[in-house]
């Protein structure tokens, strides 16, 4: 079931909200758990059992780790928890990748399993891992209620495409949380704005990308338009989903951490990754990078740690060499920045560091979205005129004119410009503050009506990160 659909917005969500706010607090987690299981079962009937099995495994491992705390058995159980969770993720997500590479390397003919990827498995696996590891570290109390732990894992607002919510973030909310009109209003506004990002911007950019792929008259400029469209679509699609998840969480009394912070304004790749998919970056930092030694090691060991973390970051996104290369691509620039580029950019105008970041990002997401290695080489080559590609064609002008307003609006929307302007107006003028407060719910309702019209016309698509 998609957030961006009539069935979710006007049937499922409406019913869940009605029941949730009628029942007493002690029943609210159970209502959310049942609703979340139905939500997942609606799209993944069989794999609902896999999610429950993963949750049960983490629940039992948490109890065992807590019971044997301070003994060698606690370490044994945290490792069996990690191994079982990663084994399930590896089997369902990466089996065919490894089989294909073994066949290619040794000329074998092992048949592919061709398993359907369970939606959200990359997200809920990392959440269950963070739970058992944090219990072992003593950073989280063991959860003795299976309903509460299952509610945390299955919570439908963030179940299938993140952000990766750690147990410690919602530990207290699971047993005691506040509901208020303010939380409901802020959450609903955030949800609608995220939905608008997805439906009105990301999906429309998807139309431009589809037109690019269908075109027989590509040009260098068209490839660069495509690169901008790919990055902006990914940003608005994924940050839009994160906004919706955060908004829904707020409605139900949960405070999820932010997942995006205007990454396009970054002055370095290191800063970009502090602003992009923040929950994933912090997860790899705390559960992989720091345990490997972080940066408090020798130069060569730091280099090894960096390459491992970014190879795994790429591989987490998908079972293809393009994703691994994508992760290592960022690792190379992070190494260059640490030893060379930061010193260079400190001596020149800041605008050049912004241009550098945008160029690196655009190329990276063309690689990220490519159809295999051959497609990546062709797409990136096209950006630089490979194969005697023309610089400009009439069709390029047609699509540029048709999507110019959307591209400009998306570029502005990807920066904090509008948010900053609104906040400054509210601070400087009491009248402006009152007008904005009156207009805000009107704008939100208007957006919801426009979005609904797209739903009625069948103009909506799945979130891009469902694939991961």
Residues 368-387: pLDDT tens digits?
999 888 999 999 999 999 88
Domain shared by 27 and 131, yes or no: yes
CB 267 within 8 A of CB 353: yes
Whether 1 maps to a domain, the answer reads no
Domain shared by 263 and 353, yes or no: yes
Predicted pLDDT at 462 = 67
Last residue of a domain, one of 148, 177, 206: 177
Whether 93 maps to a domain, the answer reads yes
Whether 272 maps to a domain, the answer reads yes
DSSP 8-state secondary structure symbol assigned to residue 217: S
Question: What pTM value is reported for the model?
Answer: 0.93
Answer whether residue 307 shows pLDDT above 90: yes
Whether 466 maps to a domain, the answer reads no
Radius of gyration of the chain (CA): 23
User: Hey, what are 443's tokens?
Assistant: 């704008």
Please write the tens of the pLDDT for every residue from 402-424: 999 999 999 999 999 999 988 88
Whether 127 maps to a domain, the answer reads yes
Please write the tens of the pLDDT for every residue from 172-227: 999 989 899 999 999 999 999 999 999 999 999 999 999 999 998 899 999 999 99
Domain shared by 268 and 251, yes or no: yes
Domain shared by 110 and 213, yes or no: no
Q: Where are the beta strands (DSSP E) in 69-191?
A: none
Whether 462 maps to a domain, the answer reads no
Per-residue confidence at 466, pLDDT binned at 50, 70, 90?
low
Domain shared by 141 and 233, yes or no: no
Answer whether residue 282 shows pLDDT above 90: yes
Domain shared by 40 and 150, yes or no: yes
Interior/surface letters 439-460, b for 16+ CB within 10 angstroms, e for the rest: eeeeebeebbeebeebbeeeeb
Domain shared by 235 and 267, yes or no: yes
Domain shared by 120 and 29, yes or no: yes
Last residue of a domain, one of 129, 150, 177: 177
Whether 467 maps to a domain, the answer reads no
User: Hey, what are 206's tokens?
Assistant: 């998807």
Looking at the 3D structure of the chain, how many domains does it have? 2
Helix orientation angle between 372-383 and 321-336, rounded to the nearest 10 degrees: 50
Q: Which domain holds residue 134?
A: 6-177
Domain shared by 325 and 370, yes or no: yes
Domain shared by 280 and 155, yes or no: no
Per-residue confidence at 467, pLDDT binned at 50, 70, 90?
low
Last residue of a domain, one of 128, 156, 177: 177
Domain shared by 125 and 45, yes or no: yes
Question: Which one of the listed residues 67, 277, 317, 354 is annotated catalytic?
Answer: 317
Whether 461 maps to a domain, the answer reads no
Domain shared by 402 and 445, yes or no: yes
Interior/surface letters 286-313, b for 16+ CB within 10 angstroms, e for the rest: bbebeeeebeeeeeeebeebbbbbbbeb
317 annotated active-site? yes
* Longest CA span, the chain: 74
- What is the rounded CA–CA span in Å between residue 277 and residue 260? 6
- What is the rounded CA–CA span in Å between residue 232 and residue 72? 49
């Amino acid at each position: 079931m998609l957030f961006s659909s009539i069935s979710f917005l006007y049937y499922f969500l409406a019913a869940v909200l009605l029941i949730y706010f009628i029942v007493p607090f002690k029943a609210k987690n159970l209502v959310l758990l049942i609703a979340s299981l139905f939500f997942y079962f609606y799209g993944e009937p069989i794999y609902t059992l896999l999610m429950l099995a993963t949750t049960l495994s983490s629940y039992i491992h948490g109890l065992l780790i807590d019971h044997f705390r301070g003994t060698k058995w606690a370490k044994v159980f945290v490792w069996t928890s990690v191994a079982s969770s990663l084994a399930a993720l590896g089997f369902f997500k990466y089996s065919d990748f490894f089989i294909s590479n073994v066949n290619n390397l040794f000329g074998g003919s092992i048949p592919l399993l061709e398993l359907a990827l369970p939606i959200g498995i990359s997200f809920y696996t990392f959440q269950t891992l963070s739970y058992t590891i944090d219990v072992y570290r003593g950073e989280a109390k063991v959860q003795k209620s299976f309903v509460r732990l299952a509610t945390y894992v299955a919570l439908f607002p963030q179940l299938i495409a993140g952000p990766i919510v750690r147990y410690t973030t919602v530990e207290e909310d699971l047993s005691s949380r506040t509901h208020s009109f303010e939380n409901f209003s802020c959450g609903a506004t955030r949800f609608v704005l995220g939905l608008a990002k997805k439906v009105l911007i990301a999906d429309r950019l998807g139309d431009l990308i589809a037109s690019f792929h269908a075109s027989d008259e590509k040009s260098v400029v068209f490839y660069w338009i495509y690169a901008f469209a790919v990055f902006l679509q990914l940003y608005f699609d994924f940050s839009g989903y994160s906004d919706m998840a955060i908004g829904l969480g707020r409605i139900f009394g949960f405070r999820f951490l932010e997942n995006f912070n205007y990454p396009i304004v970054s002055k370095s790749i290191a800063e970009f990754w502090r602003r992009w998919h923040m929950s994933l970056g912090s997860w790899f930092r705390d559960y992989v990078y720091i345990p490997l030694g972080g940066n408090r090691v020798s130069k060569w060991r730091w280099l090894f740690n960096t390459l491992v973390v970014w190879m795994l970051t790429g591989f987490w996104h998908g079972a293809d060499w393009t994703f691994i290369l994508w992760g290592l691509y960022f690792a190379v620039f992070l190494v260059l920045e640490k030893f060379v580029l930061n010193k260079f950019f400190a001596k020149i105008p800041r605008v050049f560091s912004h241009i550098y970041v945008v160029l690196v990002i655009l190329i990276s997401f063309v690689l990220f979205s490519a159809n295999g290695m051959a497609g990546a080489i062709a797409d990136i080559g096209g950006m630089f005129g490979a194969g005697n590609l023309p610089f400009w064609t009439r069709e390029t002008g047609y699509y540029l004119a048709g999507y110019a307003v959307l591209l400009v609006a998306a570029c502005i929307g990807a920066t904090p410009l509008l948010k900053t302007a609104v906040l400054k107006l509210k601070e400087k003028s009491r009248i402006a503050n009152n007008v904005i407060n009156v207009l805000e719910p009107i704008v939100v309702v208007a957006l919801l009506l426009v979005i609904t019209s797209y739903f009625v016309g069948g103009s909506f698509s799945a979130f891009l990160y469902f694939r991961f």
